[in-house]
Amino acid sequence: MINYSYSGTSRYNKVSSLFGKPWTKTTLPNPMINISPPKPHGIARLKNAFGYSIKGLQLAWQHEEAFRLEIYILLFSIPLAGLIGKNITDYVLLIGSLLFLIIIELVNSAIEAICDKISIANDELVGRSKDFGAAAVFVAIIGMVGTWMVILTKNWL
């Protein structure tokens, strides 16, 4: 983006400057260009990503009651899955459905945090976004319960 400006003070000077007075050409910063320092690569990048992931889990634990509840359910269900499942496939499906629920809960929490940051007022689109996130968690719960019921009935009934 280029901005042409003139250092003169009167309107006449600005108009007459079209015919020979010096206009100065200034370049405005482009908001689409990232001028932040370069990000690390390789092992340093993985180390940073791991730290951000741990921080995200800590923040979810501190601020999200549903996340804490789902972690408790996961910890209770790991040994239960060992009893219900007859083979490694059953065990992976049982635990995987719980991990999927936790992933969806984290995404829902991120959506809610962004929506709360963007708008404090009751906005229709913000409400819709939060409802979509809640619906995703609900569908994940249905999938988890369905997985557990199918494997339970297949192996024990």
pLDDT of residue 68: 97
pLDDT in tens, 54-97: 999 999 999 999 999 999 999 999 999 999 999 999 999 999 99
Instruction: Report how far residue 126's alpha carbon sits from residue 58's, in angstroms, rounded to the nearest whole number.
Output: 25
Residues 29 and 70 in one domain: no
In terms of residue numbers, what domain contains 23? 1-35
Residues 109 and 152 in one domain: yes
Instruction: Report how far residue 138's alpha carbon sits from residue 35's, in angstroms, rounded to the nearest whole number.
Output: 41
Residues 73 and 31 in one domain: no
Residues 72 and 24 in one domain: no
Residues 130 and 72 in one domain: yes
Residue 91 belongs to a domain: yes
pLDDT of residue 13: 47
Where is pLDDT greater, at 118 or 1?
A: 118
Give the burial string for 143-152 (b: 16+ CB within 10 Å, else e). Answer: ebeebbeebe
| Torsions phi, psi for 34 (to 5 deg) | -85, 120
Residue 130 belongs to a domain: yes
CATH number at residue 142: 1.10.287.3610
Radius of gyration for the chain, computed over Cα atoms and rounded to the nearest angstrom: 28
Residue 41 belongs to a domain: no
Structural domains in the chain (count): 2
**105 flagged as catalytic:** yes
DSSP H/E element including 28: none
- Reduced to 3 states (helix: H, G, I; strand: E, B; else coil), residue 79 is helix
pLDDT of residue 29: 64
Catalytic residue among 64, 70, 105, 124: 105
In this structure, are residues 117 and 81 in contact, taking their beta carbons and an 8 Å threshold? no
Chain mean pLDDT for the chain: 85
pLDDT in tens, 8-42: 444 444 444 555 555 555 566 666 676 777 888 89
Residue 119 belongs to a domain: yes
pLDDT of residue 31: 65
pTM of model > 0.75: no
